[in-house]
Chain A
Amino acid sequence: MIDLRSAEILDWSGACVSIREAQFPSPFQSGVEYAAPARGPWNIVHVGMLVPESHQIFVCAQGCLRGVVLTAAEMGATDRFSTIAVRENNVMEGDMEELILNGVEDVLRKLPKKPRAVLLFTSCIHHFIGCDLDYVYRKLRERFPDVDFTDCYMNPIMRKSKTPPDSKMRQQLYSLLHPTDKTAKAVNFLGNTTETSETSEMVQMIRQAGYEIRDICACHTYDEFQKMAESILNITYNPAAKLGGETLEKRLGKKHLYLPFSYNGQEIERALTQLAGAIDAPLPDFDLLKEKAEKALRETAQALQDMEIAIDYTATLRPLGLARLLLSHGFRVSSVYADSFISEEKEDFLWLQENYGDLKLYATVHPKMPRFPRDRAEKSHGNLLAIGQKAAYFTGTRHFVNLLEGSGLYGYDGICRLMQMMLQSAREEKDTEKIIQVKGWGCCG
């Protein structure tokens, strides 16, 4: 086999820059893109499968179907997934609406049991040919009045738009909730792929105020999912979920709070104070919580003093915020793998520029990255801890925290729990190659 690694050594400019010299929010020039084999982050199929008793039907070209159909197969959900292949004649002849209507009907006829809901995914093609989706959904609802249909989209062409596919998916999940006059003393967490940690201050506050917590991640039946429409408050903390919360507030008239995920004490306390106001709950003792987190940080920093740390953007919603937290507590954070940053990271970016200007930012999609030597862990004699799958891949380490989107570790408690995970990951080796190639880590429970 040809070994392309023997090709001449490249200079890494363009794919790596010190934060001192970097531009916010995009430190790297865009261009053709590489994709590292770290597959943990959930895709639209994984997210859609959170709706219990639902069935997904994708209408796309064969090449687009391939990735999603195997996502479903790998997660053991083949019986909840069907496809309608779009071919050239459908584009040329303009019979796309008929193809979808007949195809969905055929699928539903073949299923052993009618699903409660169908998530029907159309693609970029439909977007461009002006397929009359309103007509399609109207007809489907007429033909199958006992099935809830929602419009979902596999249109990566919108990736750089104001409504990227990930946000749209997290919005459409909740479009299936029926308006109701009933209200329950309950609070919803929206748009997460993991339940928020039970020990977090936020969950504790909600429970102590006598509210039930509802989260699609914990729903086992469609009826249980529908009860989310009765809750009096919706909380989002993932930026990709914010649109879903706002939409639901408009549609169901239930209050929405966006309480950004953060590692910054002031921001955490501001969010918890907002929550306390919304549910009329007492505030926890912030000083005590903060001291506990500080202690965990100090002890972990001490234990990991010889370890270099690399963070990536798939691990946490705020990679720069995490880098700032760790560096300001004596950790040896050397690098952050991310291609761009959300606006909420700007303050941390500027702080890091001023205080830790040598911190290296690495691209993950830059075309040089497949040839980047993945030997940083080896060079540091195994003393490199990665936080996130992409950082683990690019550094070649076997010590990594398998964290995705923050994994529900919110607030001061989240910081304490993250410290525990870092300590454990520093002690134990993981089978990086095996773990990071699993698609949608944790989606099968």
Chain B
Amino acid sequence: MKQVCSVLSTYTADVSGVCSALYEMGGMTIMHDASGCNSTYNTHDEPRWYHTPSMVYISALSEMEAVLGDEHKLIEDVCRAAEELHPRFIALAGTPIPMMMGTDFQGIARAIERKTGIPAFGFATNGMHSYISGVSMALEKVAERFCDPSIRPELWKPGEKISVNLLGVTPLDFSVTGNLEVLETLCEEQGFRVQSCWAMGSSWEELMECGKAQVNWVLSSAGLSLAKLLQARYGTPYVLGIPMGKDLTEKLFEELRQAAASGETPAFLCREEEETEGEGKPSYIIGEPIWAASLRYALKHTQGMKNLHILTPLEGDASLLQKGDLANAEEDDCFACFPKAEYIFGDPLYQWAIPKDSGAKLIRLPHEGCSGRMFRGEIPVLIGHYFENWFYKEMQK
């Protein structure tokens, strides 16, 4: 039955996605919730919580406030905290009960902004969608509200590095285990300069000057709407995909160079039109669409694997999927596919859906947006040539 997980886990929700995206920007994010969203977020969705403080709170909504639709207390509490803490901006994110109450987040944000003079915005999240939608709307809103539309991309001159923005990077997809650092190094080695990373590791000033970049690199589905906004605002082209393995790394950097030179967004989507089905047992890749499509490309081109299909339980760009792939995959889809599979590339929590006698082998690729902190120490670096090293080790097991 759809919506039922007898053994599988659930992914990070939209409200945590908003918090994750805004975490390092110096703003104050309030989840409009009674309780629970805060501990879920900072225990399972936020690896930076212990050491890097950020102003992420809940509103501590009570039954009476919900019944009476009392928004006054929320506004007063937020304004008082903002006056003491001086955040760069104020963001409100909704949860199921505010959805039931019909909370007008934009109206509340306007009232808070008028009172404090601090830019404020609201997100009508409701905890019923995945983090991808939350991260997307948060990144898009910050760019829309704060990035100077008069900035123009810097003209590239021969001999200079190409400037690139990395879009859709949060710990939910990239964790804190070294993938981002390796990617940044790889960019430098390939003749690129990272203008900004949305949203890990960059200063506010770097983010605000993202319009100067010559090309945008969408590294997860959560970065796509921002890429489209930046394209509309600055004319910056974008490229999708994660550089895993030699072939895809070369391909993506070439696409980035061409996009920067031409200003055109390439059609390449880490997919090919030819049939992916083949002889033998199918294998499945479970995860975020851009990550899964990149992994498939790398497995196919670098390792010669065939008959690889994506099962994505998350929202994302369906254009990355091919025949035999499945969007919005649920537990029953896993139960149907896994018994006949050869390999399943996915989070270790998917082990629970693999019948013991099926012969299917789980290649453990922990995903922070799925299992949170549980297997963080196992999250491999897959960027560039690290992919081949990882694959070799996996096949030795």
Contacts and interface: CB of A to CB of B under 8 A. Distances in A.
Interface of A: 1-5, 7-8, 10, 14, 29-35, 37, 39, 43, 60-67, 69-70, 73-74, 78-79, 82-88, 91, 99, 102-103, 106-107, 110-111, 123-125, 128-129, 154-161, 365, 367-368, 370-371, 433, 437, 439
A79 B7 contact: yes
A32 B54 contact: no
A32 B37 contact: no
B45 A66 contact: yes
B52 A3 contact: yes
B34 A157 contact: yes
A267 B120 CA distance: 52
B43 interface: yes
Nearest to A433: B50
- Nearest 10 pairs between A and B by C-beta? A63-B127, A63-B13, A67-B40, A156-B35, A32-B57, A370-B53, A31-B77, A156-B34, A106-B1, A157-B34
Contacts, number: 217
A62 B127 CA distance: 6
Given A70-B43, A155-B34, 13 more contacts: A3-B52, A4-B26, A7-B26, A33-B60, A63-B96, A66-B13, A70-B372, A86-B128, A103-B1, A106-B1, A106-B4, A371-B55, A437-B43
Contacts of B61: 157
Given A74-B374, A370-B55, A37 B63 contact: no
Given A2-B203, A160-B63, A67 B39 contact: yes
B85 A367 contact: yes
A74 B52 CA distance: 24
Contacts of A128: 66, 97, 100
28 contacts: A2-B52, A4-B26, A4-B53, A5-B52, A32-B59, A35-B39, A37-B43, A37-B50, A62-B127, A62-B129, A62-B130, A63-B13, A63-B40, A64-B36, A64-B95, A66-B13, A70-B372, A73-B374, A78-B349, A79-B7, A79-B352, A83-B4, A84-B4, A103-B3, A106-B6, A124-B34, A157-B66, A370-B53
Contacts of B3: 84-87, 99, 103
A157 B44 contact: no
B45 A111 contact: no
A29 to B, nearest CB: 8
Contact of A70 (B38, B44, B85, B129): B44
A79 B351 CA distance: 12
A274 to B, nearest CB: 35
Contacts of B56: 34, 370
Contacts of B201: 1
A33 B40 CA distance: 14
Contacts of B95: 61, 63-64
A64 B34 contact: no
A65 to B, nearest CB: 5
B9 interface: yes
A418 B83 CA distance: 42
Nearest to A158: B63
A157 B44 CA distance: 21
A37 B51 CA distance: 10
Contacts of B26: 2, 4, 7
A37 B39 CA distance: 8
B128 A32 contact: no
Given A2-B25, A32-B58, A83-B10, A371 B53 contact: yes
B354 to A, nearest CB: 13
B349 to A, nearest CB: 6
A365 B56 CA distance: 11
B375 to A, nearest CB: 10
Nearest to B32: A32
B283 interface: no
B43 A39 contact: yes
A54 B66 CA distance: 33
Contact of A61 (B58, B126, B349, B352): B126
A315 to B, nearest CB: 18
A34 B57 contact: yes
A160 B9 CA distance: 30
Interface in B1-54: 1, 3-7, 9-16, 24-26, 30, 33-40, 42-45, 48-50, 52-54
Contacts of A123: 96
Nearest to B199: A2
B145 interface: no
Contact of B43 (A110, A155, A439): A439
A60 B5 CA distance: 12
A1 B52 contact: yes
B67 to A, nearest CB: 8
A69 B61 CA distance: 23
A100 B24 CA distance: 39
B114 interface: no
A63 B19 CA distance: 13
Contacts of B372: 70
A10 B54 CA distance: 14
Interface string B126-157: 11111000000000000000000000000000
Contacts of A368: 84-85
Interface centre among A4, A7, A79, A88 (most CB of B within 10 A): A4
Interface string B255-292: 00000000000000000000000000000000000000
A83 B129 CA distance: 15
Contacts of A79: 7, 352
Interface string B84-113: 111000000001110110000000000000
B204 interface: yes
B222 interface: no
A66 B10 contact: yes
B177 interface: no
Given A10-B84, A88-B128, A125-B96, A110 B6 contact: yes
B7 A78 contact: yes
B78 interface: yes
A31 B80 contact: yes
A274 B214 CA distance: 79
B179 to A, nearest CB: 15
Contacts of B25: 2
A371 B4 CA distance: 40
A159 B34 contact: yes
B62 interface: yes
B371 interface: yes
A63 B43 contact: no
B200 interface: yes
Contacts of A102: 1
A43 B35 CA distance: 12
A37 B10 contact: no
Contact of A4 (B52, B57, B78, B349): B52
B34 A66 contact: no
Nearest to B201: A1
Contacts of B97: 124-125, 128, 157
B250 to A, nearest CB: 30
B169 to A, nearest CB: 12
A68 to B, nearest CB: 8
Contact of B128 (A63, A69, A78): A63
B57 A161 contact: no
A158 B65 CA distance: 11
A277 to B, nearest CB: 40
A67 B9 CA distance: 10
